[in-house]
Structure 1
């Protein structure tokens, strides 16, 4: 595979993550709650990943039973809460705002790496954090008009998605030292399904699964916006350095904003668009300062 094909795979994978709002909002319209949509996503993604691993390399199923704690931690603290915050933010605010707040994750990773791994907090990183803060202020409408355009709850949910996404990269570090990223993702979705299904209330909404269109949205969520983009992205990473890949991946919130505008008639102010540019700029700035392993850790474990 040449470099151009790899870049295309990465861009396509990020774009497929960006269209997730189409499937999530449609499932909301049908009658599913955010926690139920999370359960649907992790369960269907696990199903498709099992099929993929069976066809690719069955040895990737093997883990030590004593290593299960790796996945329990990442599931409870990160995957379930990350998806719940992201999907709830999309319902509370908008797809565009939810995704740009999700992209505060690199800033959280920078802070956590400084606190827990004693990594240097360089001038470039500090600049990125300041730019992120200003960009978020523009996105939520606090600056320059000093009148928030989204609720405090929506803002907390958006930041929560970035926080828990960042925590996944931190807690997933131990697992990735012992297992392939595909194995980590597979078992993360397995444990997530086991953890969330009993509390999701999906059984009480069994009648909602009777429509063919519902299954179309479920497949779209689990396959096209979860499993497939992960495969495409990690495939592209084999031939492109992670720094370039992470920058290309910033197309995700751009696609999400286009989906919000074209499909759901969402509109943003000029200051909110400026805030989006600032947040994306900070992502590029902070990623440029990371080494290859750290960047791959942040991006490869996304689900």
Structure 2
């Protein structure tokens, strides 16, 4: 039991990510826009992270220089804000199941961007994973175009969420060279919150937060599929290999699919399932251990992407 416990924690953390639609759809029903829900998530998460930092990570609360805030403009605004906005929009546009599958196009984006910007090598395995991801997207988008629950905007923002998801890995690599993962996470959410508060003007909807349901959904969104999921996943990751953790984390779309079918009455066609399996298989392939030992940097940043 002791040996498999870390794997169970990784699966548990990924499962918490998979239930995020409950909070997103719940807040959407109260009239919050996708960008406002992103703001609620990052502000709530930043609050919890500050409390945890004061309790356990006091040495990781300070930046070495204020100039380093530019590192977190990449992780916080270009990735977290963009990724969450696209993802939450997709959840409200198409099936939850398909939204999370399109999110998992991220490894294909990471492969391409790592080759272009980080000069990482691309082997046949990675090429095959990218090709499988593209084919899966074609099956989901092209052959289900007649499905009223699949919209062009939903497909577009779904792919955007995958791109934003991937951008965290790229920007996160640079930040993690200089800072502890907790510091990166904290300042990512702080910068995102600072950018979104004036943009969304959430204070104009302060009255809605007097509702117990809205307050619980807001707190839950910042804590359960964000802070709690991160810490549970991180604990498991520290006890096992990054490549194995990345594969186990594909339980997230499975949980999202089950949630969509059981809670929201979504139906998945054979073509959609085939496309989903192609994308998930590509994720597994790209994370299979290679002959050369993994540095673990991608896995270190991947756990923060959500």
Alignment of 1:1-303 (within 5 A): 2-64=2-64, 65-140=66-141, 142-143=142-143, 147=146, 150-288=150-288, 291-303=294-306
Distance 2:226 2:263 in 1: 20
Q: TM-score, normalised to structure 2's length? A: 0.94
Distance 2:256 2:248 in 1: 14
How far did 1:60 drift? 1.0
Q: TM-score, normalised to structure 1's length? A: 0.95
Contact 2:82–2:161 (8 Å) recurs in 1: yes
How far did 1:294 drift? 4.0
Q: Which runs of 5+ in 2 are unaligned?
A: none
Distance 2:69 2:260 in 1: 38
Contact 2:110–2:166 (8 Å) recurs in 1: yes
Distance 1:179 1:210 in 2: 38
**SS of residue paired to 2:240:** coil
Contact 2:102–2:158 (8 Å) recurs in 1: yes
- Give me the CA root mean square deviation: 1.6
How far did 1:146 drift? 7.0
The more displaced of 130-139 and 285-294 is: 285-294
How far did 1:74 drift? 2.0
How far did 1:148 drift? 6.6
**SS of residue paired to 1:2:** coil
Distance 1:294 1:16 in 2: 23
Contact 1:31–1:208 (8 Å) recurs in 2: no
Distance 1:2 1:300 in 2: 22
Distance 1:96 1:213 in 2: 25
The more displaced of 220-229 and 147-156 is: 147-156
Flag the 1:211–1:173 CA change in 2: closer, same or farther, 3 A.
Answer: same
1:188-246 Cα deviation digits (max 9, x unpaired)? 00010000011113122122111111111112111011000000011111111001100
Contact 2:75–2:168 (8 Å) recurs in 1: yes
Contact 1:125–1:289 (8 Å) recurs in 2: no
**SS of residue paired to 1:3:** coil
1:76-121 Cα deviation digits (max 9, x unpaired)? 2111111000000111112111110000000000001111122222
Q: Which 4+ stretches in 1 moved above 4 angstroms?
A: 145-149
Q: How many residues align?
A: 301
1:236-283 Cα deviation digits (max 9, x unpaired)? 111110011000000001111111111111111111111111111000
Distance 1:301 1:15 in 2: 15
Contact 1:2–1:239 (8 Å) recurs in 2: no
Distance 2:295 2:242 in 1: 6
